[in-house]
Structure 1
């Protein structure tokens, strides 16, 4: 697997986390790979062969060639049918809402064709430019021109949402929402409503995903024991950490480290 990340233009760095590319040569022995929620929305262009997403043990759908993957609230399996060659834009939780008027809760846990969000003709033109580009740098220039042209002050994410996301990011999702809002219940209702529209999931769900991300990185990179990881990630205890981990991945942290279907997720989080 060849996975690389690239930083965005300064004018977009507050909204775009990074760009990434992934190339995986075809191997008939390739297994399904489980993808874990990461709290971000991604726009992906498939430049290689089709990729399946499983909706049950045996049933699957094929990813659109140009799509937006909304916020994920659960893990899912994918499997390439041939050579993988992907180019993608990873947006911060409040990033993608600046480019579309569609409520982002409508995109959660599914793949939406780019043309459904930006119109058929502009989307097809963008997809063709991305496909015909000669290298990653040219693709980055193409998508950045597209995004900068789309950027519109009228779709800017409301301050209450941005402030909450910033607080969650800075504490790896461990800050209680009531603490951020200082127990103001009227703000809580407003936040819940705007968050689902502009981020795609609830503040609590995003916080749980971010905390899991921090724990995953420690698990993969520091080889600490589970109790230390649990407390450093501000779970109540090891049992609480394992419960949340299984909720998102379907397996325990120890099982994760030896599971070949987690190879792609391991690559992303290292």
Structure 2
């Protein structure tokens, strides 16, 4: 399977879109990979595939097979455990990766409804050209695909985030390493109640404050481990884990592996994708 990452060119979109991700698989051999919880949200669009998505307390998986529908689209995100993807068909997939809370710049649709829909693209971009997806998938030049998607996103850009939420995200980005951030300290910093903070995160990010903070800490830790910046003990201390056992248990919950074992298994592409890829099933 081939995967290509293209960053947005438009300066306005760079605040909302982390990157566009294109997957292409031309055979029907089985392929499996695993990704890890992140703070962003992925809008995945498939052509001629059927998607079976299971997300509960025991399972977080997506099975992709041949399908009868022209297009299927889903949101993936807010994971609390590794996300396992099984592909048993050819694949032509487009992913739009939104920064935290960035979806709210394009739609006010309910997160609960969007996360359970398999026609989410049509629901978010209701004003698009009726043949937009056909035109996108017929374009084989991935750079031109990304440019057309940017034009659609710019056309639908309309909402601004509440000031307190922007302040919260800015504070988390700057101080997630240096402070032991939790709901109490963050709401005190913003001078709002815990309830108001919870509502801001749930309404605009689709997940509660506690889950978001834990995910941010995991991603910070994962990046440092993969870049071999420090010893594991130093990484745990720097990311405000109160002891080594807490660090290892938390890491296993998010990735399925201890920090030491994950280093030998994970693949990194273009400094953005970190996943466990089944090398025995590569093209």
**Fold agreement, TM-score > 0.5:** yes
Structure 2 Cα separation of the partners of residues 150 and 177 of structure 1: 33
Task: For residue 51 of structure 1, report the CA deviation from its aligned partner.
Answer: 5.9
| Residue in 2 that maps onto 1:148 | 154
Matches within 5 A, 1:7-22: 7-8=7-8, 9-22=10-23
The answer to whether structure 1 residue 103 and structure 2 residue 110 are counterparts is yes
More strand by share: 2
Task: For residue 131 of structure 1, report the CA deviation from its aligned partner.
Answer: 0.8
| Residue in 2 that maps onto 1:212 | 218
Check 1:123–1:256 CA distance in 2 against 1; reply closer, same or farther (3 A cut). farther
Task: For residue 99 of structure 1, report the CA deviation from its aligned partner.
Answer: 0.7
Bigger shift: residues 173-182 or 244-253 = 173-182
| Residue in 2 that maps onto 1:45 | 45
The answer to whether structure 1 residue 77 and structure 2 residue 84 are counterparts is yes
Check 1:185–1:171 CA distance in 2 against 1; reply closer, same or farther (3 A cut). closer
More helix by share: 1
The answer to whether structure 1 residue 167 and structure 2 residue 171 are counterparts is yes
Structure 2 Cα separation of the partners of residues 54 and 240 of structure 1: 28
- In structure 1, runs of 5+ residues without a counterpart are none
Task: For residue 183 of structure 1, report the CA deviation from its aligned partner.
Answer: 6.0
Structure 2 Cα separation of the partners of residues 223 and 135 of structure 1: 37
Check 1:114–1:183 CA distance in 2 against 1; reply closer, same or farther (3 A cut). same
Structure 1 Cα separation of the partners of residues 41 and 173 of structure 2: 15
| Residues 212-266 of structure 1: per-residue CA shift (max 9 Å, x gap) | 111111222217432122112222222111121122223322333345xx55899
Check 1:110–1:223 CA distance in 2 against 1; reply closer, same or farther (3 A cut). farther
Task: For residue 141 of structure 1, report the CA deviation from its aligned partner.
Answer: 1.5
Aligned residues: 263
Q: CA RMSD in A?
A: 3.3
Structure 2 Cα separation of the partners of residues 36 and 134 of structure 1: 29
Task: For residue 26 of structure 1, report the CA deviation from its aligned partner.
Answer: 4.3
User: Are the equivalent residues in 2 in contact too, given 1:98–1:157 (CA < 8 A)?
Assistant: yes
| Residue in 1 that maps onto 2:227 | 221
Task: For residue 88 of structure 1, report the CA deviation from its aligned partner.
Answer: 1.7
| Residues 131-183 of structure 1: per-residue CA shift (max 9 Å, x gap) | 1223112111211111111111xx32211112112222233475333333326
User: Are the equivalent residues in 1 in contact too, given 2:106–2:156 (CA < 8 A)?
Assistant: yes
Structure 2 Cα separation of the partners of residues 83 and 267 of structure 1: 24
Matches within 5 A, 1:79-94: 79-94=86-101
- In structure 2, runs of 5+ residues without a counterpart are 66-70, 276-283
What SS class does the counterpart of residue 195 from structure 1 fall into? helix
User: Are the equivalent residues in 1 in contact too, given 2:21–2:94 (CA < 8 A)?
Assistant: yes
| Residue in 2 that maps onto 1:269 | 274
Structure 1 Cα separation of the partners of residues 176 and 116 of structure 2: 22
User: Are the equivalent residues in 2 in contact too, given 1:106–1:200 (CA < 8 A)?
Assistant: no
